[in-house]
Amino acid sequence: MTDTAENNPPMLETRVIDALKTIFDPEIPVNIYDLGLVYQIEVEGTEVRILMTLTSPNCPVAESLPEEVMDKVRAIEGVENVEVNLTFDPAWSMDNLTEEARLELGLL
């Protein structure tokens, strides 16, 4: 049996997270997932919805970063549709960083 979105959504979510960890913020040398820019990932069948933010509303990649997220997630086997929504509520803060990101940035 193959691992598809329909028979194994948790595995698909793991692959989405892995893909997001390959996308880096241009100003901070940490991937967007560990930065805490991704607030929510929903997998329903072959559809993935992502709610994310940026480090600031004036982020220089405000237009290109969501497109990169869509492209990377859409390239995952088993994903047919991707929806990425940006929010600034709540605003991103350093509190969103994972322990790995804190370590990478020398904050631990």
The distance from CA 5 to its chain's CA centroid, rounded to whole angstroms, is: 18
Superfamily of domain 9-95: Fe-S cluster assembly (FSCA) (3.30.300.130)
Q: What is the pTM of this model?
A: 0.87
* Residue 83: strand, helix, or coil: strand
> DSSP H helical segments within the chain, as ranges?
9-20, 64-74, 99-104
User: What tens digit of pLDDT does each residue of 13-60 get?
Assistant: 999 999 999 999 888 889 999 999 999 999 999 999 999 999 988 888
| 76, HSE (Cβ side, Cα atoms, 13 Å) | 27
The pLDDT of residue 19 is: 98
Backbone dihedral angles phi then psi of residue 27, each to the nearest 5 degrees: -100, -25
Name the pLDDT band for 8 (thresholds 50, 70, 90): low
The distance from CA 25 to its chain's CA centroid, rounded to whole angstroms, is: 11
- What are the domain boundaries of the chain? 9-95
Q: Return the closest-CA partner of residue 85 out of 69, 105, 73, 100.
A: 69
